[in-house]
Amino acid sequence: MATDPPTPGPGLTPGTEVDHFRVMRPLGEGGMAEVYLARDTRLGRKVALKVVKPRALGSPENRERFLFEARATARFSHPHIVTIHAVGEFDGRPYVALEYLEGQTLRERMDQERLRYPEATRVALAVAEALAEAHAAGILHRDLKPANVMLGRDGRVRVLDFGLARALPPGRGAVDDEGDGAERAGDLERSQVEDPFESQHHGVRGTPAYMAPEQWSQAEITEAVDVWALGVLLFELVTGRRPFTAETRVELGAKILGDAPAPAIDPETGVPLELVDLVADCLRKPSAERPDARTVVRRLRDALQQDGEGLDGDESPFRGLLPFDERHQHVFFGRDAEIAGFVERLRTQPVMTVVGTSGAGKSSFVQAGIIPRLRERGPLVVLQLRPGRRPFRSLAGRIVATRRQGGASPGMTVFGVPA
């Protein structure tokens, strides 16, 4: 017997108990769900609580799709895929508790600044590794875009929102026997109306600016749709624009479906040829000609390893008890997570201190890890000194001496204070 859909009601108020999660405040909302910051009262950690909107419950497909997203995300235990902690139902509304991430989406970061190609390559590599993991588990994302990539404050990149995720057909990955329900859930599009080129309600499904030709034509889709979206994302990262632009969706679709190949990145812009070729391969219009995600991962890793001059041929990379310096950055391994987290925190914390026992590797961490990563973002002045008994006077003197060596006038200021 059919029942009337629930009457839309207000969002959850702070203090509301959703099983063992206590709502703290709203974080945002999408087309079919609200997201709240909540605290897990059992474990004490913060979570992002995603709750289906009341008006969305009138459609069994919407409920099923939401649960499919939860099941799809819960398959993974991967550093670059958002972690799901729990799934449940509150007051007749399905919810999912995800790890709470502090940071920015890639879209927000790109709106603030242009990522230089080494940093852009690292972001793309993390996304490609997440896609390779998902494809191996038999799941397509189908809505990969900068807004669905999170740059965590801990320095780790995560792929978010499998709301358009779809199970691959049998024989194309490890698919559950959830059958047609999972397929129907994956076929539903996410509704976002803020941007006319975002995910649509009807017709083609996904975010038009990042959709592959086969998505536009509603042909059979494979893992290649995610590789296309990654190619668009990487093109945009290194050039500051998308490969296909148009005034309307119809015009955009015509360009993507047309016979002309995708625009190429101009090597004269300074982008390494390895990245230029990889983006071109990801944006090949015949899906069969695109590389798979694992191949993209390998090529991005190769591009990172080839970046930089490295050591002279007759110099040993083994330093013994000596610290690594900038010349050794390409043979300085094992601290990537700490470096990424440190550099990301420097965006909001003007002063960071590295402490540790003697011989722990503080100098190597800073010189071969932090400084090269900061140089990737632009010009950098590095001052080195031994602090002595009066460290602040030593630091001030080093700054003044450096400024004077650069031709500054005697009346210059340091941090707004007369030298």
The β-bridge partners of 51 are 34, 95
- Distance, in Å, from the CA atom of 373 to the CA atom of 118, rounded to the nearest integer, reads 9
Catalytic residue, from 143, 259, 281, 314: name it.
143
Distance (Å, rounded) from C-alpha 325 to C-alpha 13? 53
Number of Cβ within a 10 Å radius of residue 133:
21
The C-alpha angle 143, 149, 155, rounded to 5 degrees, equals: 165
Angle between helices 273-282 and 224-239 (to 10 degrees): 140
Q: Which two tokens stand for residue 210?
A: 């990042």
DSSP assignment string, 302-325: HHHHHSS----TTS-S--TTSPP-
CA distances from residue 66 to 158, 167, 247, 315, 325 in whole angstroms, order as listed: 20, 14, 32, 56, 50
Neighbours of 243 (CB within 10 A): 20
- What's the farthest any 2 CA atoms get from each other in the chain? 87
Task: Report in angstroms the alpha-carbon separations of 263 from 9, 59, 251, 253, 344.
Answer: 48, 41, 16, 15, 32
The yes-or-no answer on residue 143 being catalytic is yes
Active site residues: 143
